[in-house]
Amino acid sequence: MENHPLITIDPEIRSGKPCVRGMRITVADVLDALAVYQHWDAVIAEFPYITEDDIRACLAFAADRERKTRHHVA
């Protein structure tokens, strides 16, 4: 996977889920909030300790992970 310096994985934080800068907010938390609010400003209002760069990092991390996923066609 590509280097994502703003995304950290630590088994002591949120059971090793990918998190933003070592905080307890996961990439999935940010993606879920984006799906609900659809605007970065609303996501930042919900999680005021993250930045637009953090949101971009979450999107890049998720896109990279998706590109690496094997898809099986039935």
Total domain count, the chain: 1
HEC states along the chain? CCCCCCEECCCCCHHHCCEECCCCCEHHHHHHHHHHHCCHHHHHHHCCCCCHHHHHHHHHHHHHHHHHCCCCCC
Instruction: Quote the pLDDT of residue 38.
Output: 86
Domain that holds residue 58: 7-67
Q: What is the CATH number of the domain that holds 28?
A: 1.10.10.10
Over its length of 74 residues, how does the chain's per-residue pLDDT go in tens digits? 468 999 999 999 999 999 999 999 999 999 999 999 989 999 999 999 999 999 999 999 999 998 888 766 66
Is the residue at 49 inside a domain? yes
pTM above 0.75, yes or no: yes
